[in-house]
Amino acid sequence: MSATTTDRRVALVTGGGSGLGSAIVRALHGAGYRVAVADIDEAAARDVAAGLDASGGTALGLALDVREKAAFERALALLVARWGSAQVLVNNAAMTVARPVMEISPEEFDAVVAVNLRGTFLGCQVFGAHFRDRGHGRIVNMASLAGQNGGTATGAHYAASKGGIVTLTKVFARDLGRAGVTVNAIAPGPLDTPMVHRTVPPERLAALKEGIPVGEIGDPAFVASLVVQLASPEAAFATGATWDVNGGLYLR
């Protein structure tokens, strides 16, 4: 996508301060977007944004707690005030806890679901309404292989929340489609990110790769490029889908 400084599309990426989120931010910015890097860690978000554009003209970092609807509303208002509107939302923020299912406390279950599922719901609701009222928008939700196969290295709360994201994606796609808004999910398998390396100890990583049909974990840059494709104006006929990037671990 080519764009001038006056017609750049605007995207917000939650959890954009590190890992896959920062890869998505870089890919969108490289494709010509103005990008808001949103993260509960404001310093990390600002660092990523400054690395792309220290002047703040095409990238800005901001604090956003995805559990709060008002936080999404404030972020959207900031984008409208600064850049006139927004066309793309990437719901990427996630909380990952690896724990055996029988050891998960109710409080921990609620905490994981609040970030992953509630956060995605609120983002879709707030930005979806803005997109609907303007007749155009793209929402990309980050699901996971864990939400499709029940997870192997992650907790049941993480897997359940990611499965819920797949369902929410369908609901919002159906509701917003007539308004020119598409909603898709991407379900990655294990990627070469800090989160995966924290969750899977080095002694288990080789065995994990052995079990993947392609023999390797995934490249976050490819997932980021898929986000760019689904975010484009040309992606009008792709909606309500979950796009698998899992090295053949889940075939359907």
Q: Which residues have a catalytic role annotated?
A: 158
Token pair, residue 18, equals: 């590190």
DSSP string, 208-244: HHHTSTTSSPBPHHHHHHHHHHHHSTT-TT--S-EEE
Q: What's the rounded Cα separation, in Å, for the pair 225 and 85?
A: 23
Q: What's the rounded Cα separation, in Å, for the pair 85 and 132?
A: 12
Provide the angle, in degrees to the nearest 10, between the axes of the packed helices 156-176 and 106-113: 30
* Nearest in space to 68 (alpha carbons), one of 123, 107, 148: 123
In the beta sheet, which residues pair with residue 140?
Answer: 90, 184
Count CB atoms within 10 A of the CB of residue 133. Answer: 10
